[in-house]
Amino acid sequence: MTPLLLSPVWYSMHPMVVHFPIALLLVTPLFILIGAALPPARGRPYMIVALMLLALGTAGLFVAFPTGQTAAATAPRSQAAGFLLQTHQALASETRLIFAVLFVIDLGVVLIPAYLHRPESRLFSTVLPLSFLLLYSAGAVFLINTAHAGDMLVHGSEVHPNSSASQIQPGTTEAPGN
């Protein structure tokens, strides 16, 4: 029996799974900007939605990572594509960590006023969220670079999902018969 992480179904999930966290994480700053622009009481729901999008996007990165590892283990590749794959994997690892840290920071930004038992002020509703966006922009750069490297693997080289991928043995670079 094939382990779940090496099954063709898990391999084929990466293209489907990876796009959700990318979209969620790239739309999150929009909600933060809207929340920061509105008065504190009206902006709070946008900040909470942004936190939820960030949580879902970050969780999605943690789901996409093993599907990508399985796809990498089963895909044929040249030496050049192997280097690009290593770059993509390294960026993906760093991106996961960055967004996990960003989630914890944003959780603090959203919860600080309640923890301090203070009514929301512009400091907590505008200054901290906008400062957080500066950090978030670094994460977005990593996310975009990771996605670009993945795109180059799929569309810029011979490494791409195909029907023969399920026949490739882990650790090999070619499908049977090639």
Domain extent, residue 75, equals 4-159
In a domain, 176, yes or no: no
In a domain, 115, yes or no: yes
Angle (nearest 5°) at CA 65 between 55 and 144: 70
- Please give the tally of structural domains in the chain: 1
pLDDT band of residue 9 (cuts 50, 70, 90) is low
Task: Report the b/e string of 125-159 with b at 16+ CB within 10 A.
Answer: bbebbeebbeebeebbebbeebbebbebbeeebeb
In a domain, 170, yes or no: no
pLDDT band of residue 173 (cuts 50, 70, 90) is very low
In a domain, 174, yes or no: no
